[in-house]
């Protein structure tokens, strides 16, 4: 592993050279090289490799690779590629692949598969695993119950360190990864947890309940899994216990899964702010085109709306064509200032930094920032207007329009996301269109309107 | 804690009501209420509360609160507020606050403080802690060495499970949080690690080296800490061992810190894409104005550049004012399509999904997506042009300009971030200005140029 790290001075991932070597081995049907290379790679790296080649190459690779892929590679794959890859495995290969996965990984794998493929995966599981997976699938999408790991270690509250160790050394099946022992009362209600570090560092006769963490908190099985992930991050938890209506422990969300959910959420926000929607780099042209179309359509409507405002002033522009030259500047500066404010507001809403307690202070700040930057750029553009077109009054018009539009940008950029959040619309998704409509309309209207009044 | 969860059906955080209650207690100088409420809250929640009130209120709260804040609250605070809050503590309070922090938390706390404040915090530490903190500060900013936790548990490679347990039960000081025992050879070179779960579930006479994880990998002390965090996420690691030039173990980066670094990185990308730069909701007006100014200045230059293009066609516009009405539509659609492509490219570069192995495929895809969406919107806008202005040729001009600009948007939106990354400029920061310049210039030039050729 140390070599891979040094090759390109990278902390992780695969090199382009490795991708070429693997594809050359596929071309000469060198099964031995593929087994030796791919079977020793981390499943996340194999998935990464599969994501970097195209459909034809993936098919050739999966055919030429004698061992075939492990289930964990499927879990690591982009959602969009899973169906394709699963479709290329025969039932026996699929069964081999999924049998060793933890229940939460199987759920992630199958939840968005079509019914036939989902059935094929479920059929490959042991009866008891299948029950667990079907139970998880019965919880709402995006809920803690859907994504929790049901494998966990619990102990009666009256146990000592020694009893816990003896239990774990017995032939009980333990989860691959666990960091806490969860204490339960006789009705399986979760009442606290002990880190493994504390179990290991205390004498055998220490009662577990004397060494529990004081930060223990539980999450309901129907809670949004992203909220649980945010709580894990906020409170620096490693294990988040998930309980049912009767406070009985039913599973855990672990920090490594929480990290993945938070990454997905941030990614989603970034892509939504840019009007891209979900999706990945491996998507096909048609899927990508379809996903980007709606946002462009919304933008076309708002752009036409702005054009209608301009058309109100056709005569003004005909009288002074310089206005047509300068008007995009006012709209563009407002649009950028508005995007700045709305991005800050959208992220602050997502991280709960923006609340009813401080919303007025933030709005006041954004308007003031818009005013100050507006004044500075008003002076600059006023001078540009005078120098370029030799008309002091034109300089005044563009300067005043600039101040108006940048103040409005600060106001709209904050108020619109807050209002959208209040009425239950995702502000990351919808704020951009509204804010730029406002700054375009106000920008063109202020500039051309003032010009009509003061210049002609 | 269950009550807090139900109050607003939230997974974490504090309610607006709590903020009001605390501030009312401050007004009536009710120290008992403050102690009872704040001392039992999680430090992350206290920090969150401090972030939601303003400077005057913070000062009043810190004065009225008899116990005063713990060091962990300082660690959890927004960087911008730390200086302010630390400035309000007297040396004794500051010393009490920082003494119990882990070394990596002290480093995070002091690294951006001014020299006087940094000195005051360092003076409050024990001599041995101070050495550790100063050592960490000697590593480059943003390096693994700067941010690692130096408290860790290591064991000679020949130890058994029993020896490890006896060692941990002895009066050795263990880290607050640890999840692995790291095996070292006689020269302290890290050679593997064992999860605590495995230690607990194996008989006392099991050699530790028989139960190590096969995914063990180490990171160099000068590696970028964000890369280490991405590797932790990619490989689902809980502990990332950090080694020096001789492969000797010097610390660990734990997953909860990695989660924080990844969140910060995603946040940074979002804010940079919007031209906001770093900063937080608690920043003052002047700081915020300054930070947003450069991006707006860049935008002004590019907007003026686009206006220069328009001014080339003043005569054309004077001949047909409808062109001034319609031209922002072409530029705006190109700008949006370009932003979509560049956002996908910037994120794919950040997550290493976009590499030399697949860059041509991605460029081809983006251009094709631009072409298809361009053709659809060309038809729509062609019709709008004809219906609105009654000129079929004007419809053709806007349609052709639309296709050209959206294809260019797909191309520029992918190529520009890739080139910026190659030459070592952060694509999240700089791509937006370049791409919208290209789409504005091409949009106005194509539309007005075609109009000049075909319409007049």
Q: How far apart are CA A288 and CA B368, in angstroms?
A: 10
| Domain assignments of chain A as residue spans, ordered by start | 2-142, 154-273, 285-454
- Which of B412, B279, B263 shows the shortest CA–CA distance to B335? B412
The superfamily (CATH) of domain A285-454 is SLC41 divalent cation transporters, integral membrane domain (1.10.357.20)
For range A288-295, the mean pLDDT: 88
CATH topology for B2-145 is MgtE N-terminal fold (1.25.60)
Q: Cβ of A196 and B197 within 8 Å?
A: yes
Nearest-CA distance B203 → chain A (Å): 7
Q: Please check whether residue B279 is in contact with residue B413, taking contact to mean a CB–CB distance below 8 angstroms.
A: no
Residue B242, beta-bridge partner list: B219, B251
DSSP calls for A310-362: HHTTHHHHHH-THHHHHHHHHHHHHHHHHHHHHHHHHHHHHTT-S-TTTHHHH
Instruction: Kindly determine whether residue A10 and residue B48, on different chains, have CB atoms separated by under 8 Å.
Output: no
Q: Which residues contact B157 (CB under 8 A, 6 or more apart)?
A: B183, B184, B185, B191, B192, B208, B209
Beta bridge partners, A269, equal none
Give B365→chain A minimum CA distance, Å.
6
Contact A450, A397 (CB under 8 A): yes
Distance of CA B329 to the CA centre of its chain: 34
Q: Which residues on chain A are in Cβ contact (under 8 Å) with B72? A: none
Tell me the C-alpha distance between A144 and A149, whole Å: 9
Structure token digits, residue B320: 């047909």
Q: How far is A346 from chain B (nearest CA, A)?
A: 10
What the block records as the tokens of A61 is: 């690779």
Q: What is the ipTM of this complex?
A: 0.84
Contact (Cβ atoms closer than 8 angstroms) between residue B158 and residue B209: yes
As a whole-number percent, the residues of chain A with pLDDT over 90 amount to 58
CB contact under 8 A, A196 and B201: no
Distance, CA of B154 to CA of B193 (rounded, Å): 9
* Nearest-by-Cβ selection for B259 from A52, A196, A255: A255
- Cβ contact B44–A234 (<8 Å): yes
From the list B10, B217, B361, the residue facing A54 with the nearest CB is B361
pLDDT tens-digit readout, B218-272: 999 999 999 999 999 999 899 999 999 999 999 999 998 999 888 888 888 888 8
CB A332 within 8 Å of CB B303: yes
Q: List CB contacts (< 8 A) between B44 and chain A.
A: 234-236
CA distances in angstroms from A287 to A128, A297, B82, B86, B338, listed in the order given: 37, 16, 47, 52, 18
Protein fold of A2-142? MgtE N-terminal fold (1.25.60)
Reading across the β-sheet that carries B190-195, which strands appear in turn?
B154-156, B180-184, B190-195
Q: What is the residue-averaged pLDDT of chain B?
A: 89
Find the residue in A nearest to B283 (Cα). Answer: A365
pLDDT grade for B28, boundaries at 50, 70 and 90: very high
Which segment, A244-248, B113-117, B430-434, is predicted with the most confidence on average?
A: A244-248
Of the pLDDT bands very low, low, confident and very high (cuts 50, 70, 90), residue B279 is low
Question: Could you tell me which chain A residue has the CA closest to the CA of B310?
Answer: A325
Among B169, B236, B307, select the one facing A325 at the smallest CB separation. B307
How much is the mean pLDDT over chain A?
A: 89
Q: Pick the residue of B328, B363, B395, B432 with the most A CBs within 10 A to test the interface with A by mutation.
A: B328
- CATH assignment, B154-273: 3.10.580.10
Retrieve residue A24's tokens. Answer: 């050359």
User: Mean pLDDT: which of A36-40, A424-428, A448-452, B211-215 is highest?
Assistant: A448-452
* Residue of chain B whose alpha carbon sits nearest to that of A73: B235
d(CA A310, CA A444): 6
**Nearest-CA neighbor of A439 among A414, A399, A410?**
A410
Q: Per DSSP, what are the bridge partners of residue A207? A: A160
* Sign of the alpha-carbon torsion through A195, B236, A9, B430: negative
Count chain A–chain B contacts defined by CB atoms under 8 A. 374
Q: Which residues of A touch B374 (CB under 8 A)?
A: none
User: pLDDT grade, residue A119 (50/70/90)?
Assistant: confident
Mention every residue, 6+ apart, whose C-beta is less than 8 A from residue B380.
A300
Least confident of A181-190, A230-239, A276-285, B15-24: A276-285
CA distance A169 to A204: 14
The structure tokens listed for B54 are 């303003």
| Alpha-helical segments (H) within B39-126 | 43-52, 55-64, 71-76, 79-88, 91-99, 103-110, 115-123
Question: CA torsion angle for B231, B237, B242, B248 (degrees, to 10)?
Answer: -130
Phi, psi values for residue A48, rounded to 5°: -60, -40
B281 and A217 in contact by Cβ < 8 A?
no
> Contact A348/B281, CB-based, under 8 Å?
yes
Which pLDDT tens digit goes with each residue over A208-227? 999 999 889 999 999 999 99
Q: What are phi and psi of A160, to 5 degrees?
A: -105, 170
Residue A183 has pLDDT above 60, yes or no: yes
Per-residue tokens: A124:
């490959």
What would the pLDDT profile of B284-297 be if each residue is shown by its tens digit? Answer: 888 888 888 988 99
Q: Measure the CA–CA gap between A430 and A298, rounded to whole angstroms.
A: 10
Cα dihedral B209, B211, B214, B217 sign: negative
Q: Provide the β-strand partners of residue B115.
A: none
Contact B441, B390 (CB under 8 A): no
Fold match flag (B2-145 vs B154-273): no
Alpha-carbon gap: A31 to the closest alpha carbon of chain B (Å): 22
End-to-end Cα spacing for chain A: 74
Determine, for residues B318 and A321 on separate chains, whether the beta-carbon distance falls below 8 Å: yes
Asked if B195 lies within 8 A of A177 by C-beta distance, the reply is yes
The residue count of chain A comes to 456
Query: Minimal CA–CA distance to A412: which of A302, A326, A281?
Result: A302
Q: What's the whole-number mean pLDDT along residues B355-376? A: 92
Q: Are A188 and A249 in contact (CB under 8 A)?
A: yes
CA dihedral B137, B138, B140, B146 (to 10 degrees): -40
B347 CA to chain A: closest CA distance, Å? 8
């Amino acid at each position: 592993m140390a070599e891979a790290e040094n090759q390109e001075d990278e902390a992780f991932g695969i090199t382009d050279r490795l991708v070429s070597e693997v594809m050359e081995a596929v071309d000469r049907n060198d099964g031995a090289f593929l087994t030796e290379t791919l079977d020793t790679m981390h499943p996340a790296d194999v998935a990464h490799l599969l994501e970097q080649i195209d459909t034809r190459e993936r098919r050739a690779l999966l055919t030429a690779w004698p061992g075939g892929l492990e289930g964990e590679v499927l879990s690591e794959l982009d959602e969009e590629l899973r169906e394709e890859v699963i479709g290329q495995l025969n039932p026996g290969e699929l069964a081999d692949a999924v049998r060793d996965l933890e229940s939460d990984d199987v759920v992630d794998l199958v939840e968005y598969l079509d019914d036939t493929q989902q059935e094929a995966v479920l059929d490959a599981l042991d009866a008891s695993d299948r029950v667990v997976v079907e139970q998880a699938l019965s919880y709402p999408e995006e809920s803690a119950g859907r994504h929790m790991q049901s494998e966990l270690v619990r102990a009666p509250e009256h146990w000592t360190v020694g009893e816990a160790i003896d239990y774990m050394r017995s032939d009980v099946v333990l989860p691959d990864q666990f960091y806490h022992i969860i204490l339960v009362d006789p009705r399986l209600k979760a009442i606290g947890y002990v880190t493994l570090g504390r179990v290991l560092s205390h004498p055998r006769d220490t009662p577990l309940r004397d060494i529990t963490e004081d930060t223990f908190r539980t999450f309901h099985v129907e809670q949004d899994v992203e909220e649980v992930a945010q709580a894990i991050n906020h409170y620096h938890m490693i294990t988040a216990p998930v309980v049912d209506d009767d406070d009985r422990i039913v599973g855990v969300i672990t920090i490594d899964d929480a990290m993945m959910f938070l990454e997905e959420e941030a990614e989603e926000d970034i892509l939504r702010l840019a009007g891209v929607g979900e999706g990945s780099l491996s998507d096909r042209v048609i899927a990508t085109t379809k996903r980007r179309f709606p946002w462009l359509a919304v933008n076309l409507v708002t752009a036409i709306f702005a054009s209608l405002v301009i058309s109100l002033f056709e005569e003004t522009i005909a009288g002074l064509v310089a206005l047509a030259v300068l008007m995009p500047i006012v709209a563009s500066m407002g649009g950028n200032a508005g995007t700045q404010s709305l991005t800050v507001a959208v992220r602050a809403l997502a991280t709960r930094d923006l609340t009813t307690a401080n919303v007025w202070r933030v709005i006041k700040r954004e308007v003031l920032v818009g005013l100050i930057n507006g004044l500075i750029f008003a002076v600059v553009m006023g001078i540009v207007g005078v120098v370029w077109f030799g008309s002091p009054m034109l300089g005044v018009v563009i300067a005043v329009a600039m101040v108006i539009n940048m103040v409005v940008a600060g106001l709209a950029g904050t108020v619109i996301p807050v209002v959208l959040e209040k009425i239950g619309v995702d502000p990351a998704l919808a704020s951009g269109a509204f804010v730029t409509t406002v700054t375009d309309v106000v920008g063109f209207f202020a500039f051309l309107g003032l010009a009509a009044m003061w210049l002609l």
